[in-house]
Each structure stands twice: as C-alpha cells, then as structure tokens.
Structure 1
C-alpha cells in the first residue's frame, strides 16, 4: 500500500494527527505493508510524519528520490541531463522566471541539498542566481518554479516541447494561494529526470521488494498521482481530488480532512493483511 501525503493521508496541512498515527502504527505492527509517495523532500516528510513507523523506503520529490526515512539514506537518485539543465536555466533567464527550488545530490557526502526561496504566507521570493548557478554542474535532482499561470504557461510549453522525452514535468495549481489572499492562479512547475515519477519509482521499489504491481493499492489526490493510480493494481482517489484523478480511480475514499486513507484501511484491514 502506498499513499501520497498532502491532500491524501495528512488531515492537517502540515502533519498527520496523532490519533491517525497511532491507528496506522498499530496496523503496520500487524503486518500492513505500507509506504509513502510524496512531492515533499525528506525534511518536510519527516516533519509531517515523525512518529510513523514506516517499514519500507519512501518515494520523495515526486519520484525523483527513494529514501529510508529511519537512516535518512537515499537508495535511488535520479538526475537531470546537464545539457538540459543549462538550456532550462537559459530559458529561465529569458522569461525572467528564476527557480524557487534547486535540488542537487553531492556524491561525496551522499546528501541531497534543497536550495529554496520562500513562498506561502512569508511572501514569494525566488532564488538568487548565486544559490543555484554554482550548483548546476552537480547532479541536479529537481528544479522547481512558482509564479502566476499566465507567466508560467508559455515557459512550461517550450520546456515540454523541447525536452518531453528527457524530463518529467509536474504542473499543478497552488490552491492554497487563494486562501492566502493572492490574486490570480498560481502554479508550480517541477522539472525532474525522465526516470523520475511516482509510478516509475514505485515500479522500482516493488521490483526490489519482489511485490507485483497488481497487488499494490495506491492513494492520491492530485494530477501528479494519476500515473501512480493507473500503474497500481487498485487506485483510490480522495473525495477532494480533481475530476481527472477520479476518472482513473477504482474507488473514491472520504476526504483527507475526514481521514479517508485510515478509514479505508481500517474497514479493509483483513483483506489487506
């Protein structure tokens, strides 16, 4: 069983409630095979589920990374072709849309560093060039942009046209910005390697664990979960999901605010075990 975090497992915007952590840990202790596939990095994932006893590695950064949260070791890392990175950054400069996240892997320290600007209630401030240009020759795991849709659309379209075979693009709306009082439609554009993706990394993990994809139950709530739900044997969308995800799902669970993932697992625990 694999689940997304934000909008799916998490009933709070920043974490999973203690009562749900307790319920889930009890089911994991009984033998539930369970893990996470999230767009979050390791630090933010650990903050959201610090007390969850995950028995298997987790899929992070929308499938760009596979990690053991207990040891904080990265087990599989995907990186973007260096030539493409240079071309993307040239386009970024031309469109005057600097990255807001620039993640790189250091093979010597075996660590992934996420250079980040600011967003959300703190305001919006992309990265200054000195926080990403000196790192572009390293193993770049992920480049992310965040701005209004009308600015990001033409930038995204060129990248997709030029590099669709060499990259995995995630383009989703930041719906939280309406609640924060920002005008217009604000979107995230995340660029990862073509080897990345929740579905791709899930296939790698199941092969490693000798589990058949047809035996996997997957939960998600957004467009970046479509591939994972389609690849799994049984795909479950949350009630709060967009129509595009619900169309590919085998079942619709209650919303994340109502503990939909935990509710489903508890009501099906015997067959899942």
Structure 2
C-alpha cells in the first residue's frame, strides 16, 4: 500500500482559481484517515500554504509534513517545526541576484520564513495574489542585508521560454557552482543548492518515516516536479502537465488541475476503485 502522497500545489493540486475543491479535500481527508501521509510539495514557502493545510485538516498536526522551497525545507506541521534546510551559499546567491538585476527581471529571494521581491510587476503581483501573502518588496539593488540569513532559493520571473533557457545558459556559464536549476509554472527559472530538490526531500522524509520509495506517490505538472516523479515508486503527471513530465511519469491522470485529479489518484491507487 502507498503510504505517502506528495503533491505539487500550483497547477496540480490547486485549480486555476487558486483553490482546492471540496471534492478533493474530502478525498485527501479520506486517504489521511486511512493512514496515508499527504505531503504538499511546493516551490513556495511553507507559510504560504497554511490556509490550505487548514482546509485539508492537516494544520498543526504532528507527524504530518510539508516540503517547501523546491525541496530546500522540510517542515513538520505541528508548531511548524523545521526538520531540514538546504540553503545556497550567499556568494552564489549574490552572483545570481546580480544577473537578475542586469536582466531587469522580477527576482524572488526565499529564506526559510520569508519572501523578498525586487522589480515586482503587475502581472506577477496578480499571479502571486491568493497564493502568497506578506512578501517584502525591496527597492534598489541591495541584497547584503540577507547575508547572515540562510537563503533557500532565488528565482527569476521570465514569461518567455526562450529567454528562460538563455538566462539559464548564461548563469551556468558565469556562476561556477553546481546549481540545481528548474522551471515552474511557465513563468519561473529557479535556482537551488544541488542538495535541494523535490525528489531528494521526498526521499529524505520517507526515510525519516521508515517508508520505502516504492510506497510513495508523487504528483506534479512541471519541470521542478521531475525529481520527485522519478524518485517515487509511482510518479504521476496531471493531465495539464508538461509533455516531458508526462513522458517520464508512470501514470497521467485523465483529469487536469481544474477537474480534481487528486480524487482520481486516490480512488485508483489508494482505494483501488475503478
């Protein structure tokens, strides 16, 4: 039997209205009651999904968890206890940040608890609203105020895929560090420490719980979900997942993120319903 379901949030668990439907909430609660750990696995900070945990009945529960910041942070829900942090070296963050400033893009810098944003534009503000709150807008081009705070990831908001790829190549050329680089939500290029991705974090949590990789289901839609899709015993892409993710997945749902794919997954693979 599968003992963990770990799921991406945006464009996977959340519909386009940025909510989890009552039907999906009921299915997740049913799986939880059957002893399955439901672990949100998000690129965002864990504080941004606390309202979702309340909806799912997982808020402040012991022995229930969130993986956040693209796998850089593992949190137990009870008292939001931080179990693992895999930060980037500050000098590497500073180099990437300077490239973002040169490119004049919207830059997000994540610590364990906070999100700092430079060059916030209206489109990005609309996307974040309802997903993230209490971010800090920073003026100017200074990041040294964070040099003594563990930074878990830095990302650029770039809508054009070709430009994301071009910036990725430029960063690889100029930053001499083995970064974990990924894309998400068809709008971000994300930079993490190589020790941090959704797959490594999922396996670290499973090991902590004494759960085998074969007993893990991972669900996602985009490039930054690929490590957990490949690491899990059952890797699943939702129907709206990127083509390359679907090609790597063991199963692709019939439902997209607007039609309760998690209900399909839980019914089929947890309760063996046709």
- TM-score category, normalised to shorter length: 0.7 to 0.9
* Matched residue, 1:15: 19
Unaligned stretches of 5+ in structure 1?
106-111, 175-186
SS in structure 2 at match of 1:229? helix
The 5 A counterparts of 1:96-135 are 96-97=104-105, 99=107, 101-105=108-112, 112-117=113-118, 118-119=120-121, 120=123, 122=125, 127-129=138-140, 132-135=143-146
d(CA) in 1 for partners of 2:233 and 2:126?
A: 41
Task: Give the drift of 1:126.
Answer: 7.4
Paired residues of 1:115 and 1:132 also in contact (CA < 8 A): no
* Matched residue, 1:58: 66
The 5 A counterparts of 1:199-210 are 199-210=199-210
The one of 13, 38, 49 equivalent to 1:45 is 49
SS in structure 1 at match of 2:15? coil
Unaligned stretches of 5+ in structure 2?
128-135
Paired residues of 1:160 and 1:169 also in contact (CA < 8 A): no
d(CA) in 2 for partners of 1:46 and 1:226?
A: 24
The one of 87, 94, 115 equivalent to 2:102 is 94
The alignment status of 1:136 with 2:147, answered yes or no, reads yes
The alignment status of 1:224 with 2:224, answered yes or no, reads yes
The one of 84, 93, 102 equivalent to 1:85 is 93
Give the TM-score normalised by structure 1: 0.81
Which whole-Å deviations, capped at 9, do the CAs of 1:148-176 have from their partners, x for residues lacking one?
435544332122234475321122353xx
* Matched residue, 2:192: 192
Count of residue pairs brought into register by the alignment = 253
Paired residues of 2:27 and 2:262 also in contact (CA < 8 A): no
d(CA) in 2 for partners of 1:250 and 1:154?
A: 31
d(CA) in 2 for partners of 1:157 and 1:196?
A: 20
Paired residues of 2:23 and 2:263 also in contact (CA < 8 A): no
Moved more, 128-137 or 217-226: 128-137
* Matched residue, 2:130: none
Give the TM-score normalised by structure 2: 0.81
Paired residues of 1:80 and 1:140 also in contact (CA < 8 A): yes
